[in-house]
Structure 1
């Protein structure tokens, strides 16, 4: 499909420092509809990559001259070393080595603690990038393991912005939702309202993140071998969710369940999710979490859990850019938006 070719996984074997992403020109003659979809996806990705600036979003290094709809158009991107599915295979191997009698000889307890904090750090970085996108009124709509990579420094990078969309104020319904294309993204990580083709907003990304977080912690894909029909009936219509493991931190269990709630207003902001992930990482492994907690990237205003559930709560709706972001020369306007535009979700207390 065009998406499979277009994504290019942003991963390239060999020693090349960059990769080139383009649409196969032969598709113009073999399957014109697929070709046109690929061209549009690449044009949309160009727009968003030229508008965002975050350490956990892949950075474009160049664009072909002439515009995205010119023949032979391409984007030059940093090469990524691996994607999240490969990283999870490595985590799974390490996790198995730390169990049983083998774990006694390989320092199992310390390795398990580091393994958990490493996984929480990845989840935190993904949440940080999505928090930033929401502050720019961008909904990503395609969060899945195959769209998360790691560069040569092992830094998390989200890529493939072909399905991203800017939420414009003039397109917002009275209920705060938007009429956007339904059944968009990967069905395993797709929010029910998207799968059922109902109006939705940025909280669709929060649902997708909850499934990704479950995958990172469980080290296996959510819903196993569900078919598309099973997703439609059991997940989207009946509200089935993966089993939450009792050994996972209670705060993470709480935020995960809120994030995949069918009620959009119950889902927490990424600001809250980041706060929970940082806190739990510091509890599990304070030494390895030190750098994790020192993160000072563009993550918006400080999170508050509980307290105000009304007037101007910074946790409701897409967050505003922080002062640090506002001082940076913007690549484009993020639109006019007030903190009261989105109805604030009820706050569920997170235990300290």
Structure 2
């Protein structure tokens, strides 16, 4: 039932260096491999212990699906899976991932605080326009990285289905990574019922970012991620939660049925507004592909003239990815 849907509860614990250290120390792999010069390198994702049996069964399946996808995916903006333990689908199964420092939601709140300070300027005298420009470019760059990740997934016929800032984070190099693939699905010809339309479960994802066709349990395809990206991008630029005062009833009535969308700031560039409007179009066929979104953002004037162009950033991320693979191989040979 859509009206009972809750998108704010996680079924997983993510163990890092700052809690449950005894459990971390008890894992042989974690003890030997997950710390470099005393700093944690990885995080462990496993099921929470307080779940009821039905929820635990569903969450275990989601975690097994996530492990399956991450074992085959390789992209600079997708979280890297370093290992697994246990039997997939079992309540004790867990996966080991690269540790991220901060989620995009947390970063969005930090950006908002920085913007408030920049608007008052030093000593409250005038706006810090250089900082405001930097913050805008940082948000667009984060969106660009996420678009690159989704472009890669869609090229492999994978629909992500849960795009939101909570599922993206920054690593130690400040690169954006998409994580949490428990709701991802590979689209196959067997399930196709039309052009970019497949038989798939409805009410899948997080309500605020969910495409109308998913809420209404209609066939859907890759374009549902594009809709989510539109809401996601608006959140990064506005630096506030979309539909924050909407309960499920209001969201269903105004957003899903009547096509209401978040309000855009008057001063946002027209090319940004056009991208948002095309992404969250009610008609799935009117939405752009991520290949198109990637090119649009790449060619935004702010990013073409920034200190590091998007082409240079892409090359840098690819170089880092190759270096990481080389380092992994080197460490595996030494163990």
Given that 2:56 and 2:91 are in contact with CA atoms closer than 8 Å, whether structure 1 keeps it comes out as no
Aligned length: 294
Corresponding residue of 2:202: 182
Match of 1:22 among 43, 46, 53: 46
The RMSD of aligned alpha carbons is 2.6
Alignment of 1:194-343 (within 5 A): 194-280=214-300, 282-283=301-302, 286-288=305-307, 290-296=308-314
Structure-2-length-normalised TM-score: 0.81
Structure 1 segments of 4+ aligned residues over 3 angstroms from their partners: 1-15, 24-27, 100-107, 282-285, 295-299
Given that 2:303 and 2:309 are in contact with CA atoms closer than 8 Å, whether structure 1 keeps it comes out as no
Match of 1:162 among 182, 189, 207: 182
CA 1:174/1:209 → structure 2, altered by over 3 Å: closer, same or farther? closer
Q: CA deviation at 1:176?
A: 3.6
Corresponding residue of 1:314: none
Where is the helix percentage greater, Structure 1 or Structure 2? 2
CA 1:107/1:167 → structure 2, altered by over 3 Å: closer, same or farther? same
Instruction: Find out whether 1:93 has 2:113 as its counterpart.
Output: yes
- Give deviations 1:158-189, integer Å, cap 9, x for gaps: 11111000000121003440111111111001
- Give deviations 1:30-69, integer Å, cap 9, x for gaps: x21011011101110011101211111110111115x313
Instruction: Find out whether 1:37 has 2:58 as its counterpart.
Output: yes
Match of 1:144 among 156, 159, 164: 164
3-state SS, counterpart of residue 314 of structure 2: coil
Structure-1-length-normalised TM-score: 0.77
- Give deviations 1:189-208, integer Å, cap 9, x for gaps: 11011011111101000000
Corresponding residue of 1:345: none
Instruction: Find out whether 1:49 has 2:70 as its counterpart.
Output: yes
Where is the strand percentage greater, Structure 1 or Structure 2? 2
3-state SS, counterpart of residue 273 of structure 1: helix
What stretches of structure 2 of length at least 5 have no aligned partner?
A: 1-5, 20-38, 318-335
What stretches of structure 1 of length at least 5 have no aligned partner?
A: 300-352
